[in-house]
């Protein structure tokens, strides 16, 4: 269902060692390897991909269609389509998603809230530990 859709390209990078203070709005794809103190929001009118790497820390709201987290987020996370939580993901805040893939080791300190369209049930996928 979600895997068949082509991913938007990552066109922007917040590199390791960078610190951004303020809100970020982006289109298509963004990868965060540094620190962000502010909200990160994708344009809701186009398909979007947000990657928060193992080295990254975000303090603020995170919002995009497809969100992949392997770092730390302190604030609410809203994935309008798919949320992938990698093994080193640490989230302190409420999480809203349409579909969720969570690997062993990921930690959420907050509520999980599925984004429902009509009467559909949320898609949950437990990722197997490949180690």
Q: Is the pLDDT of residue 19 over 80?
A: yes
Handedness of CA 128, 83, 61, 94 (dihedral sign): negative
Given this model, what pLDDT does residue 116 score?
A: 77
pLDDT tens-place string over residues 54-79:
999 999 999 999 999 999 999 999 99
* CA 99/CA 90 separation, integer angstroms: 18
Structure token digits, residue 114: 């599925």
Model confidence band, residue 8 (pLDDT cutoffs 50, 70, 90): confident
**Average of per-residue pLDDT across 119-131:** 60
Contacts for 61 with CB less than 8 Å, ≥ 6 apart: 39, 40, 41, 75, 76, 77, 78
DSSP 3-state assignment of 95?
Answer: strand
* CA 128/CA 46 separation, integer angstroms: 31
> What residues does each domain of the chain span?
10-114
Q: Is the pLDDT of residue 1 over 50?
A: no
Contacts for 109 with CB less than 8 Å, ≥ 6 apart: 91, 92, 93
């Amino acid at each position: 269902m979600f895997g068949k859709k082509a991913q938007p390209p990552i066109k922007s990078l917040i590199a390791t060692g960078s610190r951004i203070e303020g809100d970020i709005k982006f289109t298509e794809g963004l990868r965060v390897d540094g620190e962000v103190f502010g909200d990160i929001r994708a344009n809701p009118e186009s398909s979007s991909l947000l990657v928060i790497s193992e080295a990254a820390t975000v303090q603020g709201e995170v919002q995009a269609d497809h969100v992949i987290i392997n770092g730390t987020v302190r604030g609410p996370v809203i994935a309008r389509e798919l949320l992938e939580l990698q093994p080193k993901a640490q989230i302190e805040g409420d999480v809203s998603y349409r579909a969720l893939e969570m690997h062993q080791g990921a930690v959420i300190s907050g509520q999980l809230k599925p984004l429902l369209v009509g009467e559909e049930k949320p898609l949950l996928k437990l990722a197997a530990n490949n180690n």
